[in-house]
Amino acid sequence: MKEETKIKTDSLKAWLLAARPKTLSGAAVPVMIGVALAYTDAPLYGDDVFSWTAALLCLLFAFTMQIDANFINDFFDFANGTDNNETRLGPRRACAQGWVKLESMKQAIALTTCLACVIGLPLVWYGGLEMILVGIICVVFCFLYTTHFSYLGLGDLLVLVFFGLVPVCISYYLQLHTVTWQVFLASLACGLVIDALLIVNNFRDRDTDKEAGKNTIIVRLGSKTGLQLYLGVGVGAVILGGTFWMNGHPLAFFLPFIYFILHVFTYLKIKRIDKGKALNLCLGETARNIFIYGLCVVVGVLLI
């Protein structure tokens, strides 16, 4: 008997699978980098300007929004017929498998959206009323990604913005009320690293996405371009990491080469496998690589 048949509808295990905890590293890394940069720069702006409470709230907000996005993706992909158990190559999804009822998922989406707003509201104290606008934009695009933008090939751009620019820069801004060029370039590097996860996902699903009318970059430009893009985001992240060296954090530039070596190995594996469910292994490796990148940058920033 397959594992999914043992899962009771709306059970705790079903909800854990729907939340996709393995994706939380992608939410944590940008905040970790932004907070680490703010922590090391804080002495330049005066005593006691750094707040661990604000840092923790940023992390909790990122986690909650990621889970919310996962629920939204699960619900709308099933409702739109994109998730098909017979053709799906990726991990099984809760609604499609019947692990979670559609009505229950609707309620969960409402709950996690409200929870994210509650967690994010105190950040207004640290960053001003403009944080309300940032929060609204995050929530709106959380919905629009799955329902509209992913079908238009704009997913990679949104990853760059909402897993790079926004979390890194806002995590820094909430502490020091400014954003430097170093932070901006670091946020772009982070966005590129995390985009690798979307690229390998879209590379694996290119045939089924095409049938479903989901015009990702790889569907539009082909698998060869997808492979080049996967390798390219790693190269771009390492190059942009030069900003750490130029700003007195040489270790934060050199340590991520550990990530890059692993990234190249994963790229070669994707190229060799090319199609099928075996690419899920590369998806897991990419998530691991993202976490290693974040760890290398944070350690490098904090040590020197």
Q: Place 84 in a pLDDT band, splitting at 50, 70 and 90.
A: low
Dig out the tokens for 121 from the structure: 């509201």
Kindly state the average pLDDT of the residues 72-76.
90
Residue with token string 């604000």: 54
Residue 153 pLDDT grade (very low, low, confident, very high; cuts 50, 70, 90): confident
The mean pLDDT value for 39-54 works out to 92
Q: List C-alpha distances in Å: 234 to 100, 105, 286, 289.
A: 36, 35, 11, 10
CA dist 247 and 152 (Å) reads 38
Place of tokens 């995590």: 171
pLDDT tens figures, 231-263: 999 999 999 999 999 989 999 999 999 999 999
Closest CA to 66 of 98, 113, 24, 3: 24
Tally of CB atoms within 10 A around 101: 14
pLDDT at residue 2 in the model: 46
